[in-house]
Structure 1
Amino acid sequence: MAITEIPKGFKTLLPDEANKREKILTSMERVIKLWGYNPLFPPTVEFLSTFKAVDEKFEEIAFKVVDRETGKLMAVRPDFTPQVARIVASSFKDEAPPFRFYYKGKVFRDVEGERETYQIGFELIGVNEPEADAEIVSVVVNILENLGLKSFQIDIGNSEFIDGVIEELQIPSPTTFIKLLSSKDISGIELFMEEHHISGERREKILTLLDLYGREETLDKAAQIFQNEQSLSAVKRLKEILEILKSYGFESKVIFDLSERKGMKYHTGITYEVFHPLLGCSLASGGRYDQLLKKFGRDLPATGIAVNVDSLQLLLERKGIFKEEKKDFYIIDLKKERKLAYEIAKALREKGFSVARDIIKRSIEESVKTAFGKGYRYVIVLNRELKTPHHIYLSSEKHFPLDDKNLIESILTAVKEEK
């Protein structure tokens, strides 16, 4: 194994990718803050018990270490939501809801494929009304549109609908049935019905269940076919959310999926999943988790979503949304005395330009070529041995003398004329 090798499933973002990542995060945070969400920075490592209290599965997938102080097992964060729930239940136990928090960072899961994922998510805690669910969807729409995306869709489901269907149809082995629904395994479902002697109206309703995917008419169809109280209540909730989204003008972004039970084990009720036709995996997922905070000592309803920033960045690159970002000025000073170069750089930075200086000795031609090769728009050469000592290069071949008495003004004039 080479000393430069990193573990499988982890990644390094080089400057070009890192700059794109910063641009994405800045755009997303700006939108999230405009909706009134405040930042949280949970620790990267917590006691494993924090995550196990939410879902035993986290013990299987978490990277674990032993705490030398206590001897207890700790886990490198496999999920943000349990941490947010713990923080709200403990650090904000005397404050009244609602709470709006967002977070960003990596989650680590010891699984096949990607073992680290960069997420930015936001949670609305303490509100049970459908306005909270509609708000989560609306923030997602604003985030993605602000990044220049149009053809995305948000699948909204309600796990309580499936729970009601299972009870109404008296489905045996519910866990197996739910897995078959999640994988859209039609042949598997047919075999399941055959093995459990499900026929007649029950069979027809299950086959109809698989088609409950679409817009508002899907909700009406679901309410006609499944008449149990829990499923009807779930459909009613979805219709209330839709009415709010209609008032915001976001209804075209929403698809209702009642054909499966989505989300993590701790999700209850409404779930969200975001897709784009150019990407084979979801961009974001989340949902309501009304029972989670109770595990940490405070009984509050909650809902939220986490965006997979790695997938989002891949999509934006495929869409060509990122334009090549050039840096502004590169200063080459031929004299050892660097004061003038510093003063020019300072003045340009104060005006919002990025400025770097060449600090490696080489020929002017090589330095100019290096600067343009690194993506700088303009190169300033100081004290060149010409009649007019200072020059600005607009390309390797195109350069102009600068006014020695009004350097900054002549630099800005040359840039303005070039544009």
Structure 2
Amino acid sequence: MNDLSGALTWEERVTFTLRSLYARYGYQPYKMSKFEEYDLYVRNKDFLISDSVITFTDTTGQLMALKPDVTLSIIKNTRDEGSSISKLYYNENVYRVSKSSGSFRELMQVGLECVGGIGTADVCEVLWLAASSLAAIRPEFVLDVSHLGLIGAVLSSVPAEAEKALLVSIGEKNPYGVADTAREYGIDPQAEQDLKTLASLAGPAAEVVPKLEGIAVRYGAIDALGELKTALSVFDGTPLCAGIRVDASVLDDMKYYNGIVFKGFLRGVPESVLSGGQYDRLMKRMHRDSRAIGFAVYLDGLERLETDGKAPRYDSDVLLLHDPDVPPAVLREVKERLIADGLSVRSAVSRDPKIRAGRIVKLTGDSGSWEVTDLG
């Protein structure tokens, strides 16, 4: 079979690469409808990246929504089956407000979910696949990892009304905001210092984890720190290890998430392009006993990536300009010679300024003699 990679767009190539990666690890494809009942999303609005949802009323009078998310649909359509585990991957168009344009767009999202009686090995595998996904797109990546059990333990020692402001400051890496809230609510100085540490601590696991041990001991979060260490150990001695950081300020909504959480970044993109974690609390909110972990890669965020050797720079490698009276057989022969060299070729009588081509080739002559000139 011919290699069709040159015919794929950059987005299609990324999607194919990630799907192949997940399939190699035993994940099965998941396909969903373009829309679900709106009630599914409105009951879990805070879980969505954007709370703006496109709705319509179907012929039965039921309020429906164009899907803004895939995870909720997967939870809805899987069942609790004891120790059984569903390992699913997807590439789906979702409909939500784009980060780049600020308006509703149809966006491609690729990701995976591991749902059921999951254990430590499954958590480690998903974390490994998250890092591998980033590396498959661009070698220069960072995967920030944390454990919500650490910050949750510290927050349990402060007034409940202070939690929201503290979480905002920690998520923004703002220790000054933590200090302001601590003064306002009379938070214990040790707890204030520990929260400021969580807001600012980030770096390689070997440097950061020892600094978290005191916090874990003080607030009874030894198990959480142990789970974080175990999850990170999957990268020991591997090429991916250089891109892994522990960042205690990585947060997700604690009404839905628990345990390991992570965000992925690529050089050239100013915001996270991958987000995931354990969401057992979301499962409980949806009356499920199973555990779950997963992540999504947001391809709309990748639009800002610089063009590299894997991305198409031109509409066609070669623009073949020819006289109107060139015989079709001659034109075909010249095009096939260029195509045989692995080039994509577009032919035209005149140049269209909207068409980007790597080279321009001119075919001229008369009925007995035709000449090919490379114009560069």
TM-score range with shorter-chain normalisation? 0.7 to 0.9
Match of residue 375 from structure 2: 395
CA displacement at 1:199 relative to structure 2: 3.7
Q: Distance in 2 between matches of 1:196 and 1:75?
A: 42
Q: TM-score, structure 1 length as denominator?
A: 0.72
Are 1:97 and 2:90 counterparts? no
Provide the rounded CA distance (Å) in 1 between the counterparts of 2:309 and 2:358: 21
Deviation at 1:273? 0.6
Q: 1:369 to 1:58 in 2, by over 3 A?
A: closer
Q: Residue 263 of structure 1 contacts residue 286 of structure 1 at CA under 8 Å; is this kept in 2? A: no
Q: How far is 1:141 from its partner?
A: 3.0
Please point out which of 273, 276, 291 is paired with 1:301: 291
Equivalence for 2:191: 202
Structure 2: distance between partners of 1:181 and 1:219: 18
2:114 maps to 1:124: yes
Tell me: CA distance 1:175–1:74, structure 2 relative to 1, closer, same or farther (3 Å): same
* Per-residue deviation, residues 280-319 of structure 1 (Å, max 9, x unmatched): 31121111112434555653222111122122231233x7
Q: Secondary structure at the match of 1:250?
A: helix
In the alignment, what sits opposite 1:412? none
Contact conserved, 1:103 with 1:121, CA < 8 A, in 2? Answer: yes
Offset of 1:81 from its aligned partner? 1.3
What's the counterpart of residue 178 of structure 2?
189
Report whether the alignment pairs 1:48 with 2:30: no
Structure with greater strand percent: 2
Structure 1 residue 106 and structure 2 residue 87: aligned?
A: no
How far off its partner does 1:240 sit?
0.3
Which residue of 1 is the match for residue 366 of structure 2? 385
Residue 258 of structure 2 aligns to a residue whose secondary structure is coil
How well do the aligned residues superpose, as a CA RMSD in angstroms? 3.9
2:178 alignment partner AA: I
Which of 260, 265, 282 does residue 292 from structure 1 map onto? 282
State the SS of the aligned residue for 2:213: helix
Cα distance in 2 for partners of 1:278, 1:295 equals 37
Give yes or no for contact 1:168–1:228 (8 Å, CA) kept in 2. Answer: no
- Residue 272 of structure 1 deviates from its aligned partner by 0.8
- Could you say which residue in structure 1 is the equivalent of 2:16? 26
Of 212, 216, 228 in structure 1, the residue corresponding to residue 201 of structure 2 is 212
What's the TM-score, normalizing by structure 2?
A: 0.79
Cα distance, 1:237 vs. partner?
Answer: 0.4
Report the secondary structure of 1:316's partner residue.
coil
SS in 1 for 2:372: strand
Opposite residue 208 of structure 1, the aligned amino acid is T
Structure 2 counterpart SS, 1:243: helix
1:271 Cα offset (Å): 0.7
Summarize deviations over 1:94-126 as a string: whole Å, max 9, x none: 994242322232341499935435422222223
Structure 2 contact 30–88 (Cα < 8 Å) conserved:
no
Task: Count matched residues.
Answer: 365
Match of 1:146 in 2: 136
Change (3 A) 1:57 1:297: closer
Change (3 A) 1:281 1:243: same
| Structure 1: gaps spanning 5 or more residues | 1-17, 359-366, 397-419
- 2:240 maps to a residue whose letter is F
Do residues 315 (structure 1) and 305 (structure 2) align? yes
Question: In structure 2, what is the equivalent of residue 175 of structure 1?
Answer: 164
What is the alpha-carbon distance in structure 1 between the residues aligned to residue 284 and residue 323 of structure 2? Answer: 65
Paired residues of 1:102 and 1:120 also in contact (CA < 8 A): yes
Q: CA deviation at 1:134?
A: 2.7
Structure 2: runs of 5 or more not aligned: 1-7
The 1:157–1:108 alpha-carbon spacing in structure 2 relative to 1, beyond 3 Å, is same
* CA drift at 1:257: 1.9
Q: Which amino acid aligns with 2:296?
A: A
Determine what percentage of the aligned residue pairs are the same residue.
20
2:3 is matched with none
What's the CA shift string for 1:199-225, capped at 9, x where partnerless?
443333333333432323322222223
Secondary structure at the aligned position of 1:164 is classed as: helix
